[in-house]
Structure 1
Amino acid sequence: MFGECHAHMLMDGVNYREAVARHRDAVCEEKVREFFEAYQRAGVSFIRDGGDNAGVSKRASEIAGEYGIDYRTPVFAVHKEGHYGRIVGRSFSNMKEFHQRVQEAAAEGADFIKIMTTGLLDFNNHGAVTGTPLDRDEVREMVHIAHEEGFAVMSHTNGIYGVQAAVEAGVDSLEHGNYMDEETLSMLADSHTVWVPTLVTVRNLLGCGRYEDEVLLPIIRQAETMVRTAFRKKIKVALGSDAGAYCVPHGKGICQEYQSFQEILGDSDEVREWLENGEKIIRQKFRRS
């Protein structure tokens, strides 16, 4: 089975607020172990976490070996004050503070740095992303600082401007990447960045009642088109489900993500090799040098 290149051990796929409350006073190790057992059953032996602000992924990294799992974590994600990201990390207001966050992550055993450069999909306005994306010069400096400290960079990013800024800055992996156009996909193809689309974060919402299916389907169809274009252009792509997000269970989520790719591109050795190569790059890069 493929590795899970984007997960959140903090979250449970059912109720975010309850999941956060579960770890409020101390990490609920029982729940973390439950998730590791789910990955074992799914045959998953590699997990790259997206970090959190409760110490869950840090503790998970300490016990993953008991389950034969190679687990990588940024410990926490880093976001700019006033922008999206508080739920998974710590903030900064200027580049000096960003550098401090990177040093904190290093001291706490981070394998890589995760940055948040845009918001989320705006389900009330197709094609739009919540909040204001970080300026491209700011993103470039963030990536430069992290690289200088010996870290690869995982970037939560959506939208054309956000993705282009992240790719130009040299992020090592692009998470989500919704609403890219042809030009942006071509930029990605010419870069060293690995794209982790996390398709099931939207696909698994179909029929659940949280959003109307007619709202979700255009997003899903556009993502399918981007995946086909990525395969045609040989963009580097790896599987990650954003496990722990609503309706995306740990262990099962990555299997659903691979199934999504099979449904879009067909089940072939070429597709499998393409995805294996993307994961190989992530395994090689996302450990501190």
Structure 2
Amino acid sequence: MYGECHAHIFMNGYHYRKAVELHKNHINEQNIREWFTEYEKRGVAFIRDGGDALGVSAYARQIAGEYGITYCTPLFAIHKNGHYGGIVGVGFDTMREYRGLVAEVKRRKGDFIKIMAAGIMDFNQFGVVTGEPLEQGEIREMIHIAHEEGFAVMVHVNTAQAVRDAAFAGADSIEHGNYLDRDCIQALADSRTVWVPTLSTIRNLIGCGRFPDEKLKKIYNSAAENLRRAYDTGVMLALGSDAGAYRVPHGQGIEDEFAAFKEILGDSKELRERLEQGEARIREKFVYGRRKTK
């Protein structure tokens, strides 16, 4: 089975606040081991976590080897205060504070930097993303600082402009990336940034009753069309389900993500090879191939 290139081990797939409560005062090791067992059952041997503010992914990295899993984490995601990102990380107000957070990740031996450059989709409305994205200059500076410290950068981002800004700034991977346009897709292809579209976060909501199916299907169809264009344009792709998000269970999530890719692109040798290449790129950049630190 492919690796899971975007997960949140502290989340439970159905209720964010309950997940936080479970780990808030102490890390619940049994819960982490339950999730690792689900991955082990499916032959998942690589997990790239998106971070959390509770120390759960840091602890998970310590025990992942017991399950034959290579596990990497940024420890926590980094967001600008007043913008989306507090659910998985730590905020900053100034670039000096941001540099301090990057230094903290380095001190604690985090594997990479994750930045939050935009909000999340509003599943009640097509084309709407919550909050304002970061400015182009801010995204560029944040990626530059992380690269200077020897880290690859994972960027949580949606909307064409913000994704384009991140790709041009040298993002090593783009997470989610909804509502792209043709120019943005070409920018991804030219930059060789790996795109991890996390389709399961949309697909698995259809029929659950929490959001209007009419809107969900329109959002999913838009994501599917962008994936087809990206595939045809030569964008580097990798599988990541955002496991732990609502209705995206650990272990099962990556199988659902692969099913979505096959549903959209067809099951072919070429698709499998390209997904292997995308995952290999992520393993190289985010685990084994970090640039030499200064």
Q: TM-score category by the smaller chain?
A: over 0.9
Per-residue displacement from partner, 1:180-206 (whole Å, max 9, x unpaired)? Answer: 011110111111210000000010001
CA RMSD of aligned residues (A): 0.7
- Is the 2:105–2:113 Cα contact (8 Å) retained in structure 1? yes
Equivalent pair of 2:61/2:72 in contact (CA under 8 Å): yes
Distance 2:175 2:111 in 1: 17
The code of the aligned residue for 2:96 comes to K
Give me the whole-angstrom Cα distance separating, in 1, the residues matched to 2:41 and 2:164: 38
Partner of 1:14: 14
Name the amino acid aligned to 1:64.
Answer: A
Contact 1:155 1:173 in 2 (8 A): yes
Distance in 2 between the 1:224 and 1:172 partners? 22
Aligned-residue offset at 1:217: 0.5
Please tell me whether the aligned partners of residues 124 and 212 of structure 2 are also in contact (alpha carbons under 8 angstroms).
Answer: no
Letter in 1 for 2:25: D
Please give the secondary structure, in 2, of the residue aligned with 1:115. Answer: strand
Distance in 2 between residues matched to 1:181 and 1:69, nearest whole Å: 36
Shift of 1:108: 1.5
Deviations 1:116-158 (A, max 9, x none): 0000012233112110110000100000000000000000000
Amino acid at match of 1:247: R
- Structure 2 equivalent of residue 167 of structure 1: 167
Question: Matched residues in 1 for 2:209 and 2:108: separation?
Answer: 40
The answer for the alignment partner of 1:99 in structure 2 is 99
Aligned amino acid, residue 286 of structure 2: F
Does residue 247 of structure 2 align to residue 247 of structure 1?
A: yes
Which SS does the other structure have where 1:119 is aligned?
Answer: coil
Number of residue pairs the alignment of both structures matches: 289
Using the TM superposition, give the Cα deviation of residue 95 of structure 1 relative to its aligned residue in structure 2, in angstroms.
0.7
**1:27-42 alignment, distance < 5 Å:** 27-42=27-42
- Compute the TM-score of the two structures, normalised by the length of structure 1: 0.99
Aligned residue for 1:189? 189
- Corresponding residue of 1:264: 264
Match of 1:3 in 2: 3
Structure 2 alignment gaps of length 5 or more: none
**CA–CA distance in 1 between the matches of 2:265 and 2:138?**
36
In the alignment, the residues of structure 2 paired with residue 251 and residue 123 of structure 1 have an alpha-carbon distance, to the nearest angstrom, of 24
| Mapped partners of 2:56, 2:11: distance in 1 | 9
Residues 6 and 49 of structure 1 are in contact (CA less than 8 Å); yes or no, is this contact kept in structure 2? Answer: yes
What residue is the counterpart of 1:132 in the other structure? Answer: 132
Q: 1: CA distance between counterparts of 2:132 and 2:223?
A: 22
Q: For residues 44-89 of structure 1, what are the alpha-carbon distances to aligned partners after superposition, in whole Å with 9 as ceiling and x for unaligned?
A: 0000000000000000001001111000000000000111000100
Whether 1:121 aligns to 2:121 is yes
Match of 1:224 in 2: 224
- Give the corresponding residue for 2:59: 59
Give unmatched runs, 5+ long, in structure 1.
none
In 1, Cα distance between equivalents of 2:83 and 2:29? 30
The residue type paired with residue 172 of structure 1 is D
Which of structure 1's runs of 4+ aligned residues deviate more than 4 A?
none
Contact 1:170/1:192, CA 8 A, preserved across alignment? no
Give percent identity, aligned residues only.
57
Please report the TM-score for the alignment, with normalisation by the length of structure 2: 0.97
Q: Distance in 1 between matches of 2:169 and 2:94?
A: 17
Q: Which secondary structure state, in structure 2, belongs to the residue aligned with residue 91 of structure 1? A: strand
Q: Distance between the aligned counterparts of 1:109 and 1:198, measured in 2?
A: 27
Question: More displaced, 121-130 or 205-214?
Answer: 121-130
